[in-house]
Amino acid sequence: MSVTRLETFFITLCRAGILLAFGALILSVLIQVLGRTFGSSPVWTEELTRFALLYIAAFGAGLSLRSGDLVNVDIVCESLKGNWPWRLRLLSALCTAGLCTILILPAWQYVSIGRLQTSPAVEVRMDFVHASVLVLLFILLVFSLIRIIGMVLGSDQGLPDRKEEVS
């Protein structure tokens, strides 16, 4: 699978994950509000909303790195001469990938701890919820690796792929 196809696959996956999580958030809040207005709201809505938010962060993290929403201070590095801005962008992507790689195992440990717990209202095993941090780090790792490979191969300058401004 080429890097471009891999990137497209992960972008599609993240977008689908975002839509699912955002949909769950909106739906559970609306059920909460309507339930309270016309009787009593179910007890699980608040918990589900919180879990949905964690997965919005998980699936959105990689795309925010790609779009430049995950901000950096670039006044020093981008003002340097010659090839230095490119080198520092590569170093920055390597730092991101390195951090995520190192944290994958501790995140897995954290997920494992969740196996012993169940959420009080939704009654879902907490490892499925703790896994949001693992997903976040994994997806951030994937998009930083894609950037690194693109930069090394010359197809990517390492600059953010700014999303279209909502006009």
Partner 1 sequence: MGLAVLLLVFVFGLVIGVPVAVTLGLASLAYLTYMGIPAVVMPQKMYAGMDVFVLLSIPGFILAGNLMNRGGITHRIIRFANALVGWVRGGLGLTNVGASMLFGGITGTAVADAASIGGVMIPGMKKAGYTPEFSAAVTAASSTVGPIIPPSVPMIIVGALSGISVGKMFLAGAIPGILMGIAMMVTAYIIAVRQNFPRQNWLGASEIVRSFGGAFWALAMTAIIIYGLLSGIATPTETAVIASVYAFVVGAFIYRELPIREVPKIIIDSAISSAAILVLVGFANVFGWILVSERIPQAIAASVLQFTDNKYVVILIINILLLFVGMFMETIAALIILFVPLLALAQAVGIDPLHFATFAVLNLMIGLTTPPLGVCLFVCANIARVPLTPVVIAILPFLVTNILVLFLVSYVPAIATWLPSVLTR
Between CA 1 and CA 22 the distance in angstroms is 30
- The alpha helices in 115-125, defined as continuous H runs, are none
Q: Kindly state whether residue 162 participates in binding partner 1, applying the rule CB under 8 A.
A: no
Instruction: Indicate the Cα dihedral angle 55, 59, 62, 68, nearest 10°.
Output: -80
Output the smallest distance, CB 54 to partner 1, in A: 6
Binding part of the chain for partner 1, among 2-10, 64-72, 116-124, 148-156 by CB under 8 A, reads 64-72
| Spacing of C-alpha 28 from chain mean position | 21
Task: Please report whether residue 86 would count as binding partner 1 according to CB under 8 A.
Answer: no
Least distance to partner 1, CB of residue 32, Å: 7
Chain mean position to CA 50? 15
Q: With respect to partner 1, which residue has the nearer C-beta, 54 or 149?
A: 54
* Residue 147, C-beta contacts closer than 8 angstroms, at least 6 positions apart: 65, 66, 93, 156, 158
Does residue 83 bind partner 1 (CB under 8 A)?
Answer: no
Which parts of 19-38 interact with partner 1 (CB under 8 A)? 19, 21-22, 25-26, 29-30, 32-33
Q: How far apart are CA 83 and CA 90, in angstroms?
A: 11
Residues in touch with partner 1 (CB under 8 A) = 15, 18-19, 21-22, 25-26, 29-30, 32-33, 46, 49-50, 53-54, 56-61, 63-65, 67, 69-78, 88-89, 91-92, 95-96, 99, 102-103, 105-107, 109-110, 113, 130, 132-134, 136-137, 140, 163, 165-167
